[in-house]
Amino acid sequence: MGSGFLWWSCPNALVKATYFVRHNSKHSCKHHGTCWISGSKLYIRRCRVFVQRKESSRATCVATTTTSQETEQGNCSVLIIGSGVTGSTAAFQLAEAGIDVLVAEKNEKVGGNVISKNAQGFIWEEGPNTFQPTPDILTMVEKLNLSDNLVLADAKLPRYVFFGNKLHKIPSSPLEACNFSLLSTRGKLRAFLGAIGFAPMNLERKEETVKQFVTRHLGEEVYERLVDPFISGVYAGDPAKLSMKAAFKRVQALEEKGVTQSLVEGALLRMLESKKKTVKKETKMKVPRGSLGSFREGLQMYPLSVQSKLSEKVKVGWKLIKLEKNETASDGTHRSSGYKATFETPNQSHKVIYTRAVIFTSPAYITASLLRPFIPAASELLDQIYYPCVFSVSLAYPSSSFRFPLSGFGHLIPRSTKIRTLGTIWSSSLFPYRVPEGYELLSSYIGGAQDVDITSMSEEQVVKQVDSDIRKILLKEDSAFLPKVLGVRRWEKAIPQYEVGHLQRIETIQKQVNEALPGVFLGGNYLSGISFGDCVSFGMQLADRVSTYLQENIEMYSKSVVSKA
């Protein structure tokens, strides 16, 4: 049979387990029956099966690390690349199920694009800012013992759109919609007709962009003044290129299933007014309807809590430089052999990890470079997913500098206004404790798919532009106070764009990965959706899929070994 690492489960074990062993021939196991493992003894300890070679006192088991002359080696059941929201969630769920995981993060701190900062009495975010407390998030909050650190913004805080040199409150009820100052009488009439079902059908049945879908249902004005700023501010995207089916599949599905068109418009409006989204699943934690959540010290508390729970199973400063198939399975299949991953580590040494399964939660373009030797065509498709450049800018101003007391979620800005900032979150209105007394904190975003020239601007130029835009909208005209610049984060490749053809592209990629790389799973916001909650839910789903994969293949291999004996 030859020597080498092999995944094995005793077919008669009372407790199912997996581990690495060296193998040659069969051996009788007094605890579980007959096992086909060379000169090895099996025994139960703490509900896990271990293997100990007769000629060595060292047990070779899951997560045991040995050292060779050139590199350090280790084993794990599941290797997770990336410690963002998806990777952290999947890791915790797998570990909770008793599966040995190892998380490898190339940066010096966990979290991916979730970056929370604390300085000068301010707490701010340089990535995502808040989340809607979905059932999956609340479940994870309980498991991670973060309940006491969960903070909720007032669900009644209004949202605004800046248009025509004026802030317009987005309506929260049909009565308010009648007096919605953002739309003209003609625009309201067109939207009303669409809302009661008078909208042309998509006769060609071609995949529509968000712009095409919205203008067909609600008219040009709703698109320009309401949907365009929403897409620009949330996705940093171009509605004329984003796929409606990919970005807002739940809304698109209503029409495709022949549901009354008025429901389509209603669902679309609810999507735009995101605070009306409700938590339907039962959880122990109860939160007010429409709340927006975070954690006391910022969103990064989430991945940091996972790191604390998993301890040495989370490695920071580990950069994956090579992935290889571990061609040592006795039956000659890749499914049983697993993978060999080589990392650069902080001390410049190389470390090799043997693993049964790999989860990539890295951005599409990074995953593409790592998988190109195996699936060049799929890697090319991954490279085609566009990530525009976006700057996150956190500025603080004295409360006395504002034209009115800040009370709201923030404002979005249509691209037709020619103001470059995409939108601004009134962070101190959401979480007042995050600023010193007498100050207001604003988190702005600038750049995106409709402003590609932003890449040529320096941080100083970006701050100057954002400050200028804020003065036009919020500050008193005679305010000469220069802002406290708390943070400027340049996201060279910020948010994946779900452009037309995205779903077909992902389907092709997944098919090629499944065929060529059994045991490799893809994650990340180019698959799951871009919100914090989307990533949490997808991470939980990934954990379930990987757990099922491991169990099915352990049983398959056990049957194969028994039949050959």
201 has a pLDDT exceeding 90: no
46 has a pLDDT exceeding 60: no
Residues 69-74: contacts with CB under 8 Å, at least 24 apart: 70/350, 71/342, 71/349, 71/350, 71/351, 71/352, 72/349, 72/350, 72/351, 72/352, 73/351, 73/352, 73/353, 73/354, 74/102, 74/351, 74/352, 74/353, 74/354
- At 556, which helix (H) or strand (E)? helix 532-564
In the DSSP assignment, the letter for residue 403 is S
209 has a pLDDT exceeding 60: yes
Strands (E) across 304-389 are located at 314-316, 319-325, 339-344, 350-360
Provide the pLDDT for residue 289.
79
Q: How far is CA 235 from the centre of its chain?
A: 13
How confident is the model over 359-369, as a mean pLDDT? 98
How confident is the model over 173-199, as a mean pLDDT? 82
33 has a pLDDT exceeding 50: no
Provide the pLDDT for residue 180.
86
3-state secondary structure of 95: helix
Mean pLDDT of the chain: 82
3-state secondary structure of 178: helix
- Residue 135, token pair as written in the block: 């059932």
Structural domain boundaries in the chain: 1-60, 62-109+304-378+503-543, 115-170+290-296+388-494, 172-272
Does domain 115-170+290-296+388-494 fall under CATH 3.90.660.20? My reply is yes
Give me the half-sphere count of Cα atoms (radius 13 Å) on the Cβ side of residue 255. Answer: 27
How confident is the model over 232-256, as a mean pLDDT? 82
How far is Cα 93 from Cα 543, in angstroms, rounded to an integer? 6
Question: pLDDT grade, residue 545 (50/70/90)?
Answer: very high
In the block, residue with structure tokens 């993978």:
339
Provide the pLDDT for residue 87.
98
Q: Superfamily for 62-109+304-378+503-543?
A: FAD/NAD(P)-binding domain (3.50.50.60)
Provide the pLDDT for residue 70.
52
Provide the pLDDT for residue 48.
33
Question: pLDDT grade, residue 249 (50/70/90)?
Answer: confident
- CB atoms under 10 Å from CB of 381, counted, come to 19
Provide the pLDDT for residue 502.
97
Provide the pLDDT for residue 553.
82
Question: pLDDT grade, residue 255 (50/70/90)?
Answer: low
Q: Superfamily for 172-272?
A: protoporphyrinogen ix oxidase, domain 3 (1.10.3110.10)
